[in-house]
A and B are shown apart, each in its own frame.
Chain A
Amino acid sequence: MKYSSLIIANLFRKKIRLTLTLGSFFVALFLFGMLAAIRGAFNQGVDVAGADRLVVINRTSLISPVPLSYMDKIHQIKGVKLITHMNWFGGVYQDPSKFFPKFAINVENQRQVYPELQVSDDEWNNFAKDRQGAVVGASLAKRFGWKVGDRIPIKGDIFPGNWEFNIDAIYQGKDSQQDETQMWFQWDYFQERVPERLKGLVGWYTLRVDNPDDAGRIAREIDNKFDNSSYETKTETEKSFATGFVKQLGNIQFLIITIGSVVFFTLLLITGNTMAIAVRERTGELAVLKAVGFSDRFVLLFVMAESLLISLIGGGLGIVAAKVIAAWRNPVPNVLPFFKVPNTALFMGFALALTVGLISGIIPAIGAMRLRVVDALRRV
């Protein structure tokens, strides 16, 4: 503590330079936080995927349907506990910018297959009885100010026409990781209005198995069962399915790592240069410190402390700002409904700032530590 005034006084020696260096850390770590939020948004489905859930889709592609008649056949396979199905609906609420995912669901088993998305029994029963009923996620309801009893119009695009739904229930995720931005409605209502060629077809099945260890066997059995049929299937774990879905959008992980690396090395160069200049400017002063009895180790730590303080203050403010802003308001609710800076990214951000501070400070600090008083004073 007794050295703090010395460290702080040196930190504020060049205020503009300090501000700019702090600013570069702030911007870099803010960017890191936002990228982590984007990555989290894309991987949210992967992160929350149930280990005991499998997804059955048409082998051709996700957008090709599979017959409803497969449901019982799949359910009969040993180890399959529950099964439900869903269809992607599309549709526009008010205007295309107000996008949210809408699914036609199987009312019977939806809650059992997705127990982490919780709805009260009363509301669910009302929904089950209402052919035009809908269940919406809590954050979606909050976004549009909806409440149970509201009637919402959706303009169909994949499935044309004006569709109307009654909000009968609002589901809540059991934790903050869950997606609360979906809307579900009855598959029976959907079936009434789809073209004849699409009747009796579902988008995909999701099933729960008794034992996750059997997932591989069950997936093989399902796909073997429908081999050489008109609708061959591809069965995979929900995690694998979600990962594949994200990959269709490009390698987000690679993108983030690449941008992060560029930011990291740029910061390293900026801070390293700043620290080298700062030490060079203070050669005489460091020599005086040594002359009056400050040890080489103290001088090393003194320079390192300055570097670490800059990186931790600038970087810390940047990553915390990203966290606060992402929590306060999602800047892209239509594109990425789940937009949060995860706590792991917060810690990683601090670790990154710490690493840059350490690496950029260490060379100037060693130079300062090795400084010979006699040589340094001669240069003054």
Chain B
Amino acid sequence: MVRVDGSGSASSLIHVRGLDKKYYRGGEEIHVLQGLNLDVDQGDFVAFMGPSGSGKTTLLNLLGGLDVPSAGSITVAGDEITHMSRGKLTEWRARHVGFIFQMYNLIPVLTAFQNVELPLLLTKLSKAQRREHVETALAVVGLSDRMHHFPRQLSGGQEQRVTIARAVVSDPTFLLCDEPTGDLDRKSADDIMALILTLVKQYKKTVLMVTHDPQVAERADVTLHLNKGALVEASRVEGAMSGGAR
């Protein structure tokens, strides 16, 4: 269950309270997020929408431990991350967060296999175990036959699938998707969304996604609208649990 009114319990998977983020640009203070509350449970699929500059990506960066808030707290699976050092945050990200970017951000000199293997290099898995995990992840995204291709040899949709495989290969606590279909045509976007839904429904992944596209957003269980730094509206997709609204 997703809540934005601060009524969620501390046992939520993601528990955000009073989140503030300010930037200073050219001497001017920009208050991007203001007193934001959010509770997300395991297996929720949340879409964030809002106009440019509303703070969607900033919120995603804060939830992923890529940035630190000006005030407030973020607790994920019991870990309060807002006061972690840079080093601790890096370790935490490796264990808990899978990132899916709009521009894929694959390493061009590595094959699909090697790109997906990257997060596993930080683990104590043996080479054989890493291979097994990578092959499984690539099979889940339907790219078993492309594992030795370089990103330049893949289509945009296939590149995004590799990114998804890289995000899930280490079995993170939740996935953060920043405009995952923003650079894709409609067909590829639908395929990617179908894949993300599979991750949610079949593999019980928690997904937080930023998008501009209402068609993409409506695939989520819940769509939250960000406006001027605040979650001003929450639209629950009824029957999400039964899958009828998809």
Contacts and interface: CB of A to CB of B under 8 A. Distances in A.
Interface of A: 2-3, 5-6, 9-10, 12-13, 284-285, 287-296, 373-374, 377, 380
Nearest to B115: A288
A375 B91 CA distance: 20
Interface in B90-120: 90-91, 93-95, 99, 101, 103, 105, 107-110, 114, 118-119
Nearest to B178: A377
A12 B107 CA distance: 13
B10 interface: no
Contacts of B119: 292-293
Contacts, number: 68
B90 A293 contact: yes
Contacts of B105: 284-285, 287-288, 377, 380
A296 B118 contact: no
Interface majority SS on B: helix, strand, loop or mixed? helix
B94 A292 contact: yes
Contact of B109 (A9, A292, A293, A374): A9
Interface string B49-63: 000000000000100
Query: 3 closest A-B pairs (Cβ-Cβ)?
Result: A293-B94, A9-B109, A288-B105
Nearest to A296: B86
A117 to B, nearest CB: 59
A10 B115 CA distance: 13
Chain B's interface size range is 20 to 34
B121 A3 contact: yes
13 contacts: A5-B110, A6-B107, A6-B121, A287-B105, A288-B101, A288-B107, A289-B118, A291-B64, A292-B93, A292-B99, A293-B94, A296-B86, A377-B66
Contacts of B114: 5-6, 9
Nearest to B121: A2
B99 A374 contact: no
Contacts of B87: 295-296
Nearest to B99: A291
